[in-house]
Structure 1
Amino acid sequence: MRRVLCREFADPERFETVEEPTPVAGPGEVVVEVEAAAVSFVDGLIARGGYQLRPPLPFTPGTAVAGTTGGRRVAALLTSFGGFASHVRVPADALVPVPDGVGAGVAASSMESHGTMAFALRDRVAVRPGEWVVVLGASGGIGQAAVDHARAAGARVLAVASTPDKRDAALAAGAEAAIGYDGLKDAIRAHTGGGADVVVDPVGGDAAEAALRALGTGGRFCVLGFTSGGIPRLPANIVLLRNRTVVGVDWGDWSRTDPAASRDLAAQVLRRIAAGELHPAEPDALPLDDAAVATRAYAERTAVGKLVLTP
């Protein structure tokens, strides 16, 4: 087998690709031959030691894979990392069947991004038909998933992205309109007729407060992450005004706390994709040796949509 090895908490350029004996399944386990391993912004944070979880060194990054085992097409969320590899040992009860018509790349890349948004809209905040949902960072993996899920819920989506090509990607994902970050508060209010109902924010930084101030009465602000690198200090008085709500969405903690529920939600997401209810784009695929390139693309915010590694 081949796998990416992180020997120290450092820039992903220090990754190594090593060859080792193929793992053997233990009791209650299977070995999945990986066809696609999802890459995310968090993978780079973990590799640098900048995330709240610091796995024992050395370790192999990656928490979502799709492939085959025993002739079955499966996907899995990995609670102990290890996804950037050609083979991975997985508890048999963690497997999620991949329906016909859903490719390995889409299955792997949707487990986290679409799983996060399914959790957000089922467990953390309700979106009603006709409401305006504003998505920051709308061209990224989480952003495109947010657009997709909000549209599936019957909402109207205003995408926010930094460049014309990223805004085009958000429109292709189903957003009704797309804007940049300049004059964000006023632009959101103008497009939504006075104020947004929901903001989905995986970006943080200065844009967060502007978007919070653009919420209408009863608006809900969903905190998903800080890809900009800046953690905002949201003013409590702005939350108080007009009965706004700030909601944290930590899918990772929930999935580790209740892996069975997380597996069931991932299976539901893949079924909805197969049924045509959700429409994730095919991710860009890179070889395993380009794991550093893929994680750097997220860190530098140059990635559009999702990336997967194909061992």
Structure 2
Amino acid sequence: MRAYQITSHEIRPDVTDIAKPEPSKGEIRIRIGACGLNFADLLMQKGTYQDTPPLPFVGGMEVAGVVDAIGSDTAGPAIGTRVAVFAGHGGLAEYGCYDARRAVPLPDDMSFEDAAAFVVAYGTSHVALDYRARLQPGETLVVLGAAGGVGLTAVEIGKLMGATVIACARGADKLAVAKQAGADHLIDTTTEDLRSVIKSLGGADVVYDPVGGDQFKAVFRACNPEARLLPIGFASGDIPQIPANHLLVKNLTVMGLYWGGYLGFKPKVITDSLTTLMGWYGKGRIKPHISHVIPLDKANDAMDLLRSRKSTGKVVVTMS
């Protein structure tokens, strides 16, 4: 089968032919239709992600497709079932084997492209805002990187939860995407001062931050008393240091979120969240924004879109 295999953290990977995997006990094999890309895929290529597997490995964290084989002592889902899976890796291939317990059956009207763009981005934002931050109607939510894969879903979900949403992104085109997702206020991070604009809008009650760096520092200083800050990732490459005395003075709470970690110690958090999200999708309340759909043979082009920040929402790779 064809697969985008990483054999070195220093050499640019490419699509190659490798053996088709066979499912082990407790696993299903999926004929993959689409794979959604995430910033973590770039970190895995460099070997800097917290869950980077040993070399060689196939990239791609979230997949959608059809179950085509089942391992021994595996209850299902049945062969022929359309599913999405948070794979961790292995999604940029024509076939992949995964823990059957991670498979989420898809609504009949959900395309593989939508499904591959759905699980990680929406799951991260929903668990962050609902389970961790307990975002309340009427609160002000500030979203950094608001036109990116997870940021855009945070805008959408925050608005659904009744918050006033301030979207922060680079340039008018990206801000227009955030506006379409429901943002109430827009801040161009290339030209405007985050701290002063947010304070003029009443300050931040919840901060959703996949960026880090100077943007985190600026928004930190625009928080209201008892605000909650959610570090989701560090796309800027700069991990900010948090002054503990400021937490004390303003009664602030910083709560990290590694969404995939819940699979290991509290999987019900994820399954309950995905049940809610699939229900919202079925009712037309949420819809993934996919800026690019790229064939597997051009997977490096898809990665470059993330690396150069030229995409909005999600980039999805298809196998055909």
Smaller-chain TM-score bracket: over 0.9
Distance 1:259 1:19 in 2: 34
DSSP-derived class of the 2:151 partner: helix
DSSP-derived class of the 2:255 partner: strand
DSSP-derived class of the 1:76 partner: strand
Aligned pair partner of 2:198 in 171, 188, 191? 188
Distance 1:264 1:63 in 2: 20
When structure 1 is superposed on structure 2, of 281-290 and 259-268 the one drifting more is 259-268
For 1:4, the equivalent position in structure 2 comes to 4
Provide the TM-score with structure 2 as the length reference: 0.90
Shift of 1:274: 1.5
When structure 1 is superposed on structure 2, of 295-304 and 147-156 the one drifting more is 295-304
Distance 2:268 2:204 in 1: 34
Provide the TM-score with structure 1 as the length reference: 0.92
Unaligned runs of 5+ in 1: none
For 1:75, the equivalent position in structure 2 comes to 84
Aligned pair partner of 1:120 in 117, 128, 141? 128
When structure 1 is superposed on structure 2, of 130-139 and 46-55 the one drifting more is 46-55
For 1:133, the equivalent position in structure 2 comes to 141
Shift of 1:161: 0.5
Shift of 1:259: 4.5
DSSP-derived class of the 2:118 partner: helix
Q: Does residue 147 in structure 1 map to residue 138 in structure 2?
A: no
Alignment RMSD:
1.8
When structure 1 is superposed on structure 2, of 54-63 and 268-277 the one drifting more is 268-277
Q: Is the 8 A contact 1:148 1:280 kept in 2?
A: no
Distance 1:66 1:271 in 2: 18
Q: Is the 8 A contact 1:99 1:274 kept in 2?
A: yes
Q: Is the 8 A contact 2:133 2:228 kept in 1?
A: yes
Distance 1:289 1:257 in 2: 36
Per-residue deviation, residues 20-65 of structure 1 (Å, max 9, x unmatched)? 3433333333221111101010101011112223311100011210
Distance 1:148 1:216 in 2: 22
DSSP-derived class of the 1:248 partner: coil
What amino acid is aligned across from residue 42 of structure 1 in structure 2?
A: A
Shift of 1:104: 1.2
DSSP-derived class of the 2:117 partner: helix
What amino acid is aligned across from residue 76 of structure 1 in structure 2?
A: V
Distance 2:27 2:3 in 1: 19
Q: Does residue 296 in structure 1 map to residue 294 in structure 2?
A: no
Q: For 1:194-209, what aligned pairs fall within 5 Å after superposition?
A: 194-209=202-217
When structure 1 is superposed on structure 2, of 219-228 and 93-102 the one drifting more is 93-102
When structure 1 is superposed on structure 2, of 249-258 and 44-53 the one drifting more is 249-258
Aligned pair partner of 1:59 in 54, 57, 60? 57
Shift of 1:260: 5.8
Unaligned runs of 5+ in 2: 68-78
Aligned pair partner of 1:87 in 95, 99, 104? 95
Q: Is the 8 A contact 1:97 1:267 kept in 2?
A: no
Aligned length: 306
Higher relative contact order (CA 8 A, sep 6+): 1
DSSP-derived class of the 1:121 partner: helix
Aligned pair partner of 2:36 in 35, 38, 57? 38
Distance 1:35 1:263 in 2: 22
